């Protein structure tokens, strides 16, 4: 049931990302809300949850905007897993830690994306875009991460109460 | 190393990665199977996306007009001046058109008809990431839209369809790195290929490559589609040259082109279904 709820949240975030987030575009770059949500889930709940949320985010992106299944799913699955695994023993209380980890997670995502693009020949010269895309998008993601992390913690508390305590 | 392989988690990770790699290679070859996944999901979310997309564009346009208010008077004067000039051009154009028809009929050439059969569609979503430039429109196979049909606005070329479902189509914008359109410089008639945002074109611009070294291209030249390649009909405005450079160790030169259409503010587009009775797009 909890997974179904997260499934629904991810769909809503993806619809939001492809429509409303256009308003927050600066210089052609916008923050990746579903990715930040997946990264925050991996920080709050560990690598398995991060990988699952990354996978959900990626597979929806592939289905709606891609031309084949699995490209974004694999990239975001790996990003969620790596983020959760690497941040296992780090204390995630202060917002600055969340921001730093999200920044690094976004960089990891973009590096995996570049490698995958080279393998699948999706983009001709992805390294050229490292500075104009990777860094600004990672900074954007970093800025919104404390709010998303706070939301993830609140959602988790609500689910704990609703699914474990109430019933 | 052995300890690593004894860990169940690593095996699970490997299995998921293998399944996804298999899914990629399988669905890349089998478009029908991929559309079977896409159709129910896109059909389910498209009404919500349509509403949110329209709302966000309205807000974006509203916010954009606030700083413009102060420049409106000056802009109005300039536009009135432009209208007067364009009226003169229009008269001259009509005269040339009449003359062209007469000359063509004298030479026995077939009349060229620039009328297209268009299908209006609304943009209901954009690629959520920052890497690709794909939009989702609310018309598909049910409206006669096929893969590889040109998509335009009243200002010029937007892109072409890359995947079509029953009631939606995915459009690859000309600024996408994977996009490639045959184009020509209107003034000099030099042909080239228009590629998406690749080195060294800045983001949002396109690069016209394979232009002859001796071509005399200057800033402000209009780029139109050449009609070669069969996807985009000839004569559709694509953009304006902002910079032309000769490649030092090559026989070619390239031009950086600013698209005529503001691709960030797309709301409604037209899909060219056919021209002169010839159906566009690729047959399924």
Contact call for A67 and B37, based on CB within 8 A: no
Range of the domain at A117: 2-10+34-165
**pLDDT value of residue B31:** 77
* Residue A21 contacts B, CB cutoff 8 Å: yes
**pLDDT value of residue B284:** 35
The answer as to whether A114 is a domain residue is yes
The answer as to whether A88 is a domain residue is yes
SS3 (DSSP) at B238: strand
Q: How many CB atoms lie within 10 A of CB A24?
A: 13
Task: Pick out chain B residues at pLDDT < 50.
Answer: 282-284
The answer as to whether A125 is a domain residue is yes
pLDDT in tens, A16-54: 898 888 888 887 788 999 999 999 999 998 888 999 999
d(CA B93, CA B244): 29
- For an interface test with A, the pick among B35, B60, B129, B259 (most A C-beta atoms closer than 10 Å) comes out as B129
Nearest CA to B258 among B218, B283, B222? B222
Angle, helices B31-68/B8-29, rounded to nearest 10 degrees: 90
The answer as to whether A24 is a domain residue is no
Chain A's closest residue to B178, CA to CA, is: A123
d(CA A46, CA A92): 12
Confidence of residue A143 (pLDDT cuts 50, 70, 90): very high
> Is residue B242 within 8 Å of residue B223, measured between CB atoms?
no
Mean pLDDT, chain A, whole residue set: 87
**Among the listed ranges A72-76, A98-102, A141-145, B84-88, which one has the minimum average pLDDT value?**
B84-88
Residue at token pair 């000099």 = B188
**pLDDT value of residue B283:** 39
* Among the partner residues A65, A128, A132, nearest to B170 by beta-carbon distance: A65
The ipTM assigned to this model is: 0.77
Confidence of residue A58 (pLDDT cuts 50, 70, 90): very high
- Residue A109 in this model has a pLDDT that exceeds 90: yes
CA dihedral B158, B163, B165, B169 (to 10 degrees): -10
- For an interface test with A, the pick among B128, B136, B169, B195 (most A C-beta atoms closer than 10 Å) comes out as B128
The answer as to whether A67 is a domain residue is yes
**pLDDT value of residue B73:** 82
> Is residue B203 within 8 Å of residue A132, measured between CB atoms?
yes
The answer as to whether A18 is a domain residue is no
Handedness of CA B159, B164, B169, B175 (dihedral sign): negative
The answer as to whether A77 is a domain residue is yes
The answer as to whether A121 is a domain residue is yes
Query: How many domains is chain A built from?
Result: 1
Contact call for B131 and A132, based on CB within 8 A: no
**pLDDT value of residue B259:** 92
* Among the partner residues B28, B60, B136, nearest to A68 by beta-carbon distance: B28
* Residue B114 contacts A, CB cutoff 8 Å: no
**pLDDT value of residue A103:** 95
Angle, helices A135-159/A95-120, rounded to nearest 10 degrees: 120
d(CA B252, CA B237): 23
């Amino acid at each position: 049931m909890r997974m179904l709820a997260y499934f629904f949240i991810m769909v809503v975030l993806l619809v939001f990302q492809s429509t409303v987030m256009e308003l927050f575009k600066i210089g052609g770059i916008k923050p990746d809300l579903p990715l930040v949500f997946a990264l925050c889930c991996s920080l709050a709940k560990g690598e398995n949850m991060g990988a699952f949320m990354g996978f959900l985010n990626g597979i929806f992106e592939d289905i709606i905007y891609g031309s084949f299944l699995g490209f974004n799913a694999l990239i975001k699955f790996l990003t969620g897993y790596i983020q959760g695994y690497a941040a296992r023993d780090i204390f995630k209380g202060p917002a600055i830690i969340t921001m730093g980890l999200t920044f690094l997670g976004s960089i990891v995502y973009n590096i995996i994306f570049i490698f995958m693009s080279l393998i699948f020949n999706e983009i001709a010269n992805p390294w050229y875009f490292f500075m104009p895309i990777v860094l600004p998008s990672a900074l954007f993601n970093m800025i919104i991460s404390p709010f998303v992390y706070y939301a993830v913690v609140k959602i988790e508390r609500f689910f704990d109460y609703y699914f474990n305590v109430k019933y | 190393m052995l300890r690593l392989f004894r860990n169940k988690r690593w095996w699970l990770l490997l299995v998921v990665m293998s399944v996804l790699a298999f899914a990629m290679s399988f669905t890349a070859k089998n478009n029908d199977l991929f559309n079977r996944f896409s159709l129910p999901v896109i059909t389910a979310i498209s009404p919500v996306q349509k509403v949110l997309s329209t709302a966000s564009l309205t807000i974006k346009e509203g916010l954009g007009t606030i700083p413009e208010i102060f420049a409106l008077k000056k802009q109005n004067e300039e536009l009135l001046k432009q209208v007067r000039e364009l009226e003169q051009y229009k008269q001259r154009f009509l005269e040339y058109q009449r003359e062209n028809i007469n000359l063509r009929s004298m030479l026995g050439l077939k009349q060229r008809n620039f009328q297209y059969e268009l299908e209006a569609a609304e943009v209901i979503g954009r690629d959520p990431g920052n890497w690709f430039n794909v939009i989702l429109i609310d018309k598909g196979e049910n409206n006669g839209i096929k893969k590889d049909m040109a998509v335009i606005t009243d200002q010029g070329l937007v892109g072409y369809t890359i995947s079509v479902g029953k009631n939606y189509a995915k459009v690859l914008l000309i600024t996408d790195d994977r996009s490639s359109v045959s184009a020509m410089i209107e003034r000099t008639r030099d042909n080239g290929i228009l590629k998406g945002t690749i080195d060294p074109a800045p983001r949002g611009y396109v690069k016209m490559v394979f232009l002859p070294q001796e071509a005399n291209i200057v800033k402000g030249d209009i780029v139109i589609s050449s009609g070669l390649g069969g996807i985009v009909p000839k004569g559709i405005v694509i953009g304006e040259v902002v910079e032309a450079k000769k490649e030092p160790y090559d026989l070619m030169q390239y031009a950086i082109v600013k698209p005529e259409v503001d691709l960030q503010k797309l709301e409604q587009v037209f899909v060219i279904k056919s021209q002169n009775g010839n159906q566009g797009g690729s047959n399924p």
